[in-house]
Amino acid sequence: MCLLLRVNIIVRRCTILPVGQGQLIDHGLIAIKDGMIIYVGKQDDAPRFEADKVIDGHRKVAMPGLVNCHTHVAMSIFRGIAEDLELDKWLKETIWPLEAKLKPMDVYRGALLSCLEMIKNGITCFSDMYFHEDVVARAVKESGLRAVLAPGIIEAGDPERGQKMLDESISIAKSYHGYAGGRVTTQIGPHTAYTCSLDLLKKVCEAASSLKVGLHIHLAESRDAASIVKKLYGRGEVDLLSDMGFLGPDVLAAHCTQLSQEDIELLAESNVKVAYCPVANMKLASGICRAKELLDAGMTVGLGTDGPASNNTLDMFETMKFATLLQKTLYMDPRVLPAKRVLEMATMDGARALGIDEAAGSLEIGKKADLILIDVDKPHLTPMHDLYASLVYAARGSDVDTTIVDGKILMENRKVKTLDEDEVIEKGRETALDLISR
Amino acid sequence: MCLLLRVNIIVRRCTILPVGQGQLIDHGLIAIKDGMIIYVGKQDDAPRFEADKVIDGHRKVAMPGLVNCHTHVAMSIFRGIAEDLELDKWLKETIWPLEAKLKPMDVYRGALLSCLEMIKNGITCFSDMYFHEDVVARAVKESGLRAVLAPGIIEAGDPERGQKMLDESISIAKSYHGYAGGRVTTQIGPHTAYTCSLDLLKKVCEAASSLKVGLHIHLAESRDAASIVKKLYGRGEVDLLSDMGFLGPDVLAAHCTQLSQEDIELLAESNVKVAYCPVANMKLASGICRAKELLDAGMTVGLGTDGPASNNTLDMFETMKFATLLQKTLYMDPRVLPAKRVLEMATMDGARALGIDEAAGSLEIGKKADLILIDVDKPHLTPMHDLYASLVYAARGSDVDTTIVDGKILMENRKVKTLDEDEVIEKGRETALDLISR
């Protein structure tokens, strides 16, 4: 008599790129039970499984789902609304006036639209900073994705507003930490060092510390941002935040395009995590994050798409390609940030940056089953002399065939199962048109 | 009695982005007869057509096919074979030794694989420089694409080899100019100013002039290239070629990342056409083409993917996004090269750079019917506040639904009609493996 191990899903006959400690596996098998990976390895070495669902992974590559470390998902409804403009003008003349009119239902529909796009692009986890994160949480719950949500705080010279936003943030961070079966965790998201006062930032730190959640902030995003802080405080953003005790291992700092050598040392010492967003940084001409030097300094650097209004997509394959090509260009050296390293940044390092690396970021026994299958039977992925290069330099979101999060199939054969694609697109379109007509 | 105009194809109910002089058309109609556009405009204003084939363009955008101004299509079989290396090392240690083993059948299969990829990505015309362009011509004929083919010449210090390659180039340029019903035209392709002697370059110029075909050359591609020429001749590449009378309106110069202000003036005066290849330039860390300044100087600048071994895809949507984002970053100004301008570079300016702008590059009555339909019912293309921004910043090759060249449908609903997709992919894969095992 032969003992069969009962599991929920097996993916068979696939090439597996586990990331982390694991080596590339040909003819591999992955077994998933109760949302967890219970086997990843050679198919021939696997125990015998009896599965509720068998996925044939022939001519597919299985890899960890991509982790998008910095975005504002609701901004999908602003996609393309103000293009080829300076960041300051873009924010003040278009985005902020529209955001003032935003209702929770707009945020919900924009977030759902982005969740749909991310599932289709193989992103299994994202880190968001925006208003009304409670309805973003609802979209995350329905879509089946994993997310770290940071309610954003913009004081903008109005301490009463600042306190109110902090109170709301605390309330949301409390209520939604562990939401949707643990798929949602929370952070607090002070927008920047110049849109929040030092007083408020101190309170933010205290709140985060007492709630045991992290912080998500835009840091040294652009030359303009740097010069505003310089004007306000006579010093640099990193220096300022370091001195007030803001920086620490639970801080996720997005962008970081304006760092001095001293700043890098301060950030590395504090073990701050960085979200490098090359596409948005280039599109808004904000500057270039010296990601190579941050990595050399031993820092954790994840990748982010930034919001869909400043990118204009949520495609982490594209972001991986931009991420390394921009570093090669900055350092005038094609050897910088090789494909394998970029792939780690987009998965394992991203999970580490969000504090969820024990659960996600690689395909390992005992981790959550957050994984994607790439269909490699495509002309642009042929031949495949180098799997890492194919994934980073040639693949794109539309090559993702299957997306699994927490052991649940969110997309199979490019059909999304958790959301009604046509309806989400239609409602997103309606919401966008309605918003600009208000 | 109502008179019906008999045509081959009509595309109805589409949004039309004609490029060139034409404005955006909603509820548009395009009529194609004998390979030519005979109507493009409002559907309501159109004469009554009776068509052999009616394509419903509802929720699709019709635009001119993309023109890829610089590539080496056969190099698809090298995709991913040597990654994250310096250009010189990449060429000398991997590519050139493999190229020495290349047989015409390898080139044919590599070219077919790239033609398949280009059709799927909405590229309708490409400009190629490589060995065995006679078999590339065969692949172009079978695929249905349009191409400008330049047999490449590398003398490499061996005048006998140089003369032999020139003779072969002349023979191919003669035989294939006007091939495949006029879809193929030819150029002569001296590789660079340092892999061909000045003597040979003079002969090349004479041959091109007597054949009435253009020239396609790699110019000022990288710092290394510039320093080799400097060492050989004590001067810059542009200066050298200008002095010997090489430069003129029929010269297509690829890359141009190392130009001084004087170089730009010389190139503009000679009306040289430039192929800006941002992705490969960034990947190989060759430098940055100052495309904005070339455009400001009144030059024609098309876009190129470069070969699939140094990109690693043939996706001109991706190239458009890189093209503008790199310029915004170089000049630290997000207003540089707005989306509409980039789209012109990828279509109209590309056609002008290849000397085929009377036939292609825009949707106009009397031009060849080289056009694509983009399926915009996708989350990443929703909402569409700005069509130009959506196409340049959010669309990708996989959003192309239909590709038409010379009035013939090469792909419909993403199914390629002229090539057997599985077979082309399989043969490409086999060829690549066979080549490295030789």
Cβ–Cβ pairs < 8 A, chains A and B: 225
The separation between the first and the last C-alpha atoms of chain B, rounded to the nearest angstrom, is 70
**CA distances (Å), origin A86, targets A83, A90, A91:** 9, 6, 8
Closest CA in chain A for residue B121: A380
Whether B382 and chain A come into contact, CB under 8 Å, resolves to yes
What are the DSSP calls for A307-375, one per residue? -GGGTS---HHHHHHHHHHHHHHHTT-TTSS-HHHHHHIIIIIHHHHTT-TTTSSS--TTSB--EEEEE
Assign domain A66-353 one CATH number from 3.40.50.150, 3.20.20.140, 3.90.960.10, 1.10.3720.10: 3.20.20.140
Whether this model's ipTM surpasses 0.85 comes out as yes
Counting every residue, how long is chain A? 438
DSSP reduced 3-state for B26: strand
Residue type, B205: C
Assign domain A5-64+367-416 one CATH number from 2.30.40.10, 2.60.40.10, 1.10.760.10, 3.40.50.850: 2.30.40.10
Query: Measured between beta carbons, which residues in chain B are less than 8 angstroms from residue A145?
Result: none
Q: Answer for the pair A16, A24: CB distance below 8 angstroms, yes or no.
A: yes
Q: B62: closest CA among B133, B131, B9?
A: B9
Whether the predicted model's global pTM rises above the 0.95 cut: yes
Whether B87 and chain A come into contact, CB under 8 Å, resolves to yes
CB contact under 8 A, A80 and B393: yes
Long-range contacts of B324-327 (CB under 8 A, 24+ apart): B324/B392, B325/A279, B325/A282, B325/A283, B325/A322, B326/A282, B326/A329, B326/B278, B326/B282, B326/B288, B327/B291, B327/B292
Q: Considering chain B, what is the average pLDDT of its residues?
A: 96
Assign domain B5-64+362-415 one CATH number from 1.10.10.60, 2.40.420.20, 3.40.47.10, 2.30.40.10: 2.30.40.10
**To the nearest whole angstrom, how far is the Cα of A235 from the nearest Cα of chain B?**
23
CB contact under 8 A, A283 and B334: yes
Q: Answer for the pair A150, A188: CB distance below 8 angstroms, yes or no.
A: yes
**CA distances (Å), origin B45, targets A357, B39, B40, B56, B407:** 60, 10, 10, 17, 22
Nearest neighbour of B394 by CB, restricted to A79, A114, A385: A79
Chain A interface mutation, best of B24, B81, B84, B421, highest count of A Cβ atoms under 10 Å: B84
**CA distances (Å), origin A221, targets A73, A286, B279:** 19, 6, 24
Those residues with Cβ within 8 angstroms of residue B402's Cβ, 6 or more apart along the chain or in another chain: B55, B60, B372, B373, B409, B411, B412, B413
What are the DSSP calls for B362-401, one per residue? S--TTSB--EEEEE--SGGG-S-S-HHHIIIII--GGGEE
Q: A12: closest CA among A41, A35, A38?
A: A41
DSSP reduced 3-state for A136: helix
Closest CA in chain A for residue B422: A377
Kindly state the tokens that stand for B407: 């009035």
> What pLDDT tens digit does each residue of chain A (438 aa) get?
467 899 999 999 999 999 988 899 999 999 999 999 999 999 999 999 999 999 999 999 999 999 999 999 999 999 999 898 887 888 889 888 999 999 999 999 999 999 999 999 999 999 999 999 999 999 999 999 999 999 999 999 999 999 999 999 999 999 999 999 999 999 999 999 999 999 999 999 999 999 999 999 999 999 999 999 999 999 999 999 999 999 999 999 999 999 999 999 999 999 999 999 999 999 999 999 999 999 999 999 999 999 999 999 999 999 999 999 999 999 999 999 999 999 999 999 999 999 999 999 999 999 999 999 999 999 999 999 999 999 999 999 999 999 999 999 999 999 999 999 999 999 999 999 999 998
Counting every residue, how long is chain B? 438
Q: Answer for the pair A403, A60: CB distance below 8 angstroms, yes or no.
A: no
Q: Answer for the pair A124, A351: CB distance below 8 angstroms, yes or no.
A: no
Residues of chain A numbered 26-65 and touching chain B (CB < 8 Å): none
Whether A234 and chain B come into contact, CB under 8 Å, resolves to no
Whether B357 and chain A come into contact, CB under 8 Å, resolves to no
Kindly state the tokens that stand for B130: 């490589």
Kindly state the tokens that stand for B316: 């001109």
Residue type, A154: I
Across the strands, what pairs with B150?
Answer: B129
Residues of chain A numbered 99-158 and touching chain B (CB < 8 Å): 113-114, 116-117, 120-121
Nearest neighbour of A86 by CB, restricted to B311, B335, B379: B335
CB contact under 8 A, A279 and B388: no
pLDDT at A21: 83
**Hey, where are the domains in chain B?**
5-64+362-415, 66-353
CB contact under 8 A, B380 and A78: no
The separation between the first and the last C-alpha atoms of chain A, rounded to the nearest angstrom, is 70
Query: Measured between beta carbons, which residues in chain B are less than 8 angstroms from residue A420?
Result: none
